[in-house]
Chains A and B, each alone.
Chain A
């Protein structure tokens, strides 16, 4: 990765080895680590501060990762410090999920149409089930599974496996069908017809 400049940068900082489709929308100061796959129509929006995404993450279609302003603060207010959103390694953001959590650890799975609020902090190995809305103000302990319409919780004994097979497959196939965004070192992946 190149050196990070101060916030307010327009171009995303995509490490070599990451596969980011051109149809995805990346706004603001976003850093994406190597071996991360961002599907088309995914949206990563850094409004109120930078977003740093680690390596080996899988961000599927229509997923929305947004670092937004808190509700009672207008974008023009002076003196508001930009908060960085950090996302660890080997996370999976499934189709249609919305994540505003400022700190996400490793090996988490956020299933389809799940909704994470601003004040949640995910540690490692957590699974947020499909359509579950988690907008409490807490740190979710490790290896927690949140499932069901009432957001029941339980603890599982093993963390979810990293999706290495899926990532390798996608990194080979996606460039065949989509244009890729330019990475920092070297040019973009050549498009094969």
Chain B
């Protein structure tokens, strides 16, 4: 498994449209095709929306209504961190008796990273912990909404026109298939409902219910055209001579995160609701099934000093994640192997088959268990610990250059597909058949020493 600090030392080759080499933590496995897949050979789909700070799941329709923003969480307008609500006690006059003061709780928003508080922009403390904070209204909202309605109506009208023309040419029994251009027009003004996922090359399926019925009266919306002004407000007189108060000037990023207002002064930066993130679901492009993470891994344990043209032993570990015994064979790459382009050293892998015990979840607690007897060759196997095995490979660096020494070989192991559908067959098949998978692995062992 790739570690956090050194993710790219063990690379696996993925046979996709492009040959990609990447570490196991970024790869996925399709159980039905029995192949490794990387992020580039899968198709992404939006699964659900969630808020990254309160982890609230939102259905897509609600997310669209709220403009993909969380209702409860805010972002700091200064450093874009998540704001937290803090409480203070302030003395406030009791409603019954104005002369006495009682301690009341007042809440304000504060950022833990840059120490921005809602009091900096003049937002008053609220008496409720959540739900009291409002974003300021955009003064142009009404005009924008009206414009959007008008253009949506226009788009529908254009679409109907086009389809009427198309229909006149087509034969009567053809379904009402929408052309590419029509879809474009619909999407242009954000009218359409979620389209079905389009497969590349397949014809676009019909969108029922999107068009108005023929006889329905369309509400006429009139908009006023935008007025061009001749006179602009003049700049203040001291615009060029006034010294800049640098902490007050907002940065471009802070300004553009609030496109409604784009405040130039830091005292007008109001917090915005937090943006929602998307959870994706990944599908294998060939078989359309969902993917899982691959977990059978080789890991570099310890590397001695690598010297040019001198043979040395590298200790590798293999971990078996399944509960059954797995057999692993390592095969070195032959001369002229088309996949072997990066190796700069010759490697001698152990020729015998390595056997790994299954993962036993109760092994830690079961002290009376008998140790499994595997009869390991001490030259090959360094240690064995429940489902892990450490073994040696011999490396002879071939090229005296500045880069890392890379070594590649193929690893072949058996895999039992427990999740495949049980095919009804006439003969008595074993319920889980083992298939042999071969992967091309590249290890990056570090630079040469002297």
Contact = CB atoms under 8 A, between A and B. Distances in A.
A157 interface: yes
B122 to A, nearest CB: 10
Contacts of A76: none
Contacts of B115: 127, 145, 147, 156, 160
Interface in B361-387: none
Contacts of B113: 129, 147-148
B117 A155 contact: no
B160 interface: no
B114 A158 contact: no
B120 A148 contact: no
Interface in A122-172: 127, 129, 145, 147-148, 152-158, 160
Say what secondary structure dominates the interface of chain B: loop
A154 B119 contact: no
Nearest to A161: B88
A32 B116 CA distance: 32
Nearest to A153: B247
For the side of the interface on A, what is the size category?
A: 10 to 19
Contacts of A154: 78, 114, 116, 247, 266
Contacts of A157: 117, 119-120
Contacts of A156: 115-117, 120
A157 B115 CA distance: 10
A152 B247 CA distance: 10
B128 interface: no
Interface in A77-115: none
Given A129-B113, A148-B114, A155 B79 contact: no
A149 to B, nearest CB: 11
Interface in B79-126: 79, 113-117, 119-120
A52 B120 CA distance: 34
A110 to B, nearest CB: 13
Nearest to B121: A157
A158 B125 CA distance: 15
Contacts of A145: 114-115
Contacts of B114: 129, 145, 147-148, 152, 154
A148 B79 CA distance: 9
A155 B247 contact: yes
- Most chain A CB within 10 A, of B115, B116, B120, is at B115
12 contacts: A127-B115, A147-B114, A148-B79, A148-B114, A152-B79, A152-B114, A154-B116, A156-B115, A156-B120, A157-B117, A158-B117, A160-B115
Interface of B: 78-79, 113-117, 119-120, 247, 266
Q: Enumerate the 8 nearest inter-chain pairs by beta-carbon distance, A residue then B residue, closest first.
A: A155-B247, A147-B114, A145-B115, A157-B120, A156-B115, A154-B247, A147-B113, A127-B115
Given A157-B120, A158-B117, 11 more contacts: A127-B115, A129-B113, A148-B79, A148-B113, A148-B114, A154-B114, A154-B116, A155-B247, A156-B115, A157-B117, A158-B119
